[in-house]
A and B are shown apart, each in its own frame.
Chain A
């Protein structure tokens, strides 16, 4: 789609590799040569099964890890290698993360006020205590909490409220990109929807982009503009939500989609189940290259593989 390309590129990941050497002879290739771009104001859904390298991708981008190889460009600046001081500051103020476990991501010894204010404390973004308090109150309101919650400790909040505090902590910095790493997976189903709606409304209101990492396809479909499917550290397919959900090409993506239950019982009864096993599929991800199906839709595979898949679908 043309519209996408006209939007400014916010984050560009090129051939990112993140390896963890376990011993001299063994290295975990958690993320192996992935490339994608996130535009300003876009919600990018990154899906994949557990252990596929979703969290590692997020953490490499925000530089909790030092990437083994590849290039990451954020707001036009290279953030993959050793960064100069002002690039570090730009990265630390403009990109933030929301974590999976709302309890573990809040310091149990700090009050909500101090947890949320951490970023503005570090970067000295206020001139008086009064201003600091007002900034925190404003953010609390934005995420649906009241002033009164500012004096609580995390254990005095419910799960959904805790995750709201986590969101507020990221939001107070007015970020350009929020990485939400399974931000709803630890919550009750009823609260998941609230938090997803909150994220979506924040995106609309502030125009920040979100890298939404999840394993729940229906949530990702609901919230994302663009989707990337990660498997064994490789980005096997990416495209707009419609591309991936309606015109999936890669067999792994198709097997994932076939596992989604249908609300209509008649359809659900004869929902075809596709199985996919990398070992027996005869595919070798590291041999594949990205093939453009459409402008926005990319699939990883060798020429022959992609030809075959397209023929299967036709």
Chain B
């Protein structure tokens, strides 16, 4: 008997007669990949996602290692070598990025032909290459910390509101409305003015309004899932609310949480840059992508590379996060693809 897929209608005795042994038999038809494996496969099948993932990886690696390997530090001021043009080995042989300005080799003029400032230097003579990667590091750190705070607050708030519903939910939603009723920027500015400027303060300022979005998404998902039959089944088995939340609702909301996380990070990076741009960034001499763009912007007409380099890194970073978020959404929740 070859076809043993369908033995369910047989009795024990009949199964024994046809030589079917349940413990040995593996049903090939349906055994497949686990959920996570499937997501990863779908993810890499998408070219844009794969490229964005590689870009992100490269940026993160540079942010970690470039400042370490660079002979300059991000805060070293050198009044002799201000506003040096870009000079990159190999490329300089092709006649681009060779450290000349209007035909004059600035590096020779200053007598530092042995030095390479890949992205040039700023008006205080600091190496922009080093500062860009240190800035990326800090921007990423702020964004990820802020979004992790978002997740912790937003997921807890959303799950409690969605699961318990009724009056509790009503009060919690009114609180959110009050919070979102006040313009973000005012809350952030007050906070940044009241507290000592620095990375923790900026994270807090970003998270204080950022979690609302996460909590709404989680609440909606929990509202949808909690009347699902597997939750009902769990309740009829006597599961506590804690167990239902952690075993059933949280794992089934994870996809949405990850997707929202991926879209929140670039948002936070951009908001941090925006704060820096209006003068509420990390204190000098620290740098974030935002403060670098702000500094470079002042001399953008004379030395455009000073703003273009950090702006390019910021753009690639945000684009990669958004593309990755898109790809993840497709992989995790195929029904949302049409949206």
Check A108 against B23 for contact (C-beta < 8 Å): no
A101-B229 in contact (CB<8A): yes
- Give per-residue flags for B207-238: 1 if the beta carbon is below 8 A from chain A beta carbons, else 0: 00000000000000000000011101111111
- Tell me, yes or no, whether A261 is within 8 Å of chain B by CB: no
Q: B22, A147: Cβ atoms under 8 Å?
A: yes
- Indicate which residue in A108, A152, A160 contacts B252 across the interface (CB closer than 8 Å): A108
* B→A interface (CB under 8 Å): 8-9, 22-23, 25-27, 30-32, 34-35, 228-230, 232-240, 243, 247-248, 251-252, 254
The minimal Cβ–Cβ distance linking A201 to chain B, given in whole angstroms, is 9
Asked if A138 CB lies within 8 Å of chain B CBs, one says no
Q: Across the interface, do A64 and B252 meet the contact criterion of CB distance under 8 Å?
A: no
A contact residues vs B (CB 8 Å cutoff): 59, 62, 64, 88-89, 92-93, 95-97, 99-101, 104-110, 118-119, 122-123, 141, 144-149, 152-153, 156-158, 160-161, 164, 166, 169, 173, 193-194
Q: Give the residue among A146, A147, A152, A193 with the most B Cβ atoms within 10 A.
A: A146
Verify B27–A105 contact, CB threshold 8 A.
no
Instruction: Please report the C-alpha to C-alpha distance between residue A119 and residue B238 in the assembled complex, in whole angstroms.
Output: 8
B238 touches A99 (CB 8 A): no
B237 adjacent to A104 (CB under 8 Å): no
Say yes or no: A100 contacts B27, CB within 8 Å: no
The distance in angstroms between the C-alpha atoms of A105 and B9, with both chains bound, is: 23
Are B252's CB and A109's CB within 8 A? Answer: yes
Are B22 and A146 in contact, with the CB atoms below 8 A? yes
Can you list 21 contacts pairing A with B, beta carbon distance less than 8 Å? A64-B232, A99-B229, A100-B229, A104-B229, A104-B230, A105-B233, A107-B234, A109-B35, A118-B234, A118-B239, A119-B237, A122-B238, A122-B240, A144-B8, A147-B22, A148-B23, A152-B31, A156-B30, A164-B8, A169-B233, A169-B237
Whether the pair B233, A122 counts as a contact (CB closer than 8 A) is no
Minimum Cβ distance to chain A for residue B18 (Å) = 14
Q: Tell whether, in the assembled complex, residue A152 and residue B30 are in contact, meaning their CB atoms are under 8 Å apart.
A: yes
A62 pairs with B8, CB closer than 8 A: no
Distance of B5 from chain A, by nearest CB (Å):
9
Residues of A within 8 A of B229 (CB): 99-101, 104-105
A145 CA / B254 CA spacing, docked (Å): 30
Measured between alpha carbons, how far is A99 from B234 in the docked complex, in Å? 12
Q: Which residues of A are found within 8 Å of B233, using beta-carbon distances? A: 97, 99, 105, 118, 166, 169
A109 to B251, CA, bound (A): 7
Known: A105-B230, A107-B234, A107-B247. 18 other contacts (CB 8 A): A92-B237, A93-B238, A96-B236, A97-B233, A104-B229, A105-B233, A107-B251, A108-B35, A118-B233, A118-B237, A119-B238, A123-B238, A141-B22, A148-B25, A153-B34, A158-B30, A173-B237, A194-B9
Q: Which 6 pairs of residues, A with B, have the shortest CB-CB distance?
A: A92-B238, A146-B22, A105-B229, A109-B251, A99-B229, A119-B237
Measured CA separation A152–B229 after assembly (Å): 19
B235 contacts A64, C-beta separation under 8 Å: yes
Q: Which residues of A contact B238 (CB under 8 A)?
A: 88-89, 92-93, 119, 122-123
Determine the chain A residues whose CB is within 8 A of the CB of B247 once the complex forms. Answer: 107, 110
A96 to B234, CA, bound (A): 10
Nearest Cβ on chain B to A175's Cβ, whole angstroms = 10
Query: Which B residues lie within 8 Å of A95 (CB)?
Result: 236
**Which residues of A lie under 8 Å from residue B230 when comparing CB positions?**
104-107
Contacts of A92 in B (CB 8 A): 236-238
Shortest A20–chain B CB gap in Å is: 13
Min distance, Cβ B334 to any Cβ of chain A, angstroms: 12
Residues of A within 8 A of B254 (CB): 109
Closest residue on chain B to residue A105 by CB atoms: B229
A122 CB contacts on chain B under 8 angstroms: 237-240, 243
Residue of A nearest to B228 (CB): A104
Let me know if A97 and B236 touch, CB within 8 A.
yes
Known: A64-B236, A92-B236, A109-B35. A157 touches B8 (CB 8 A): no
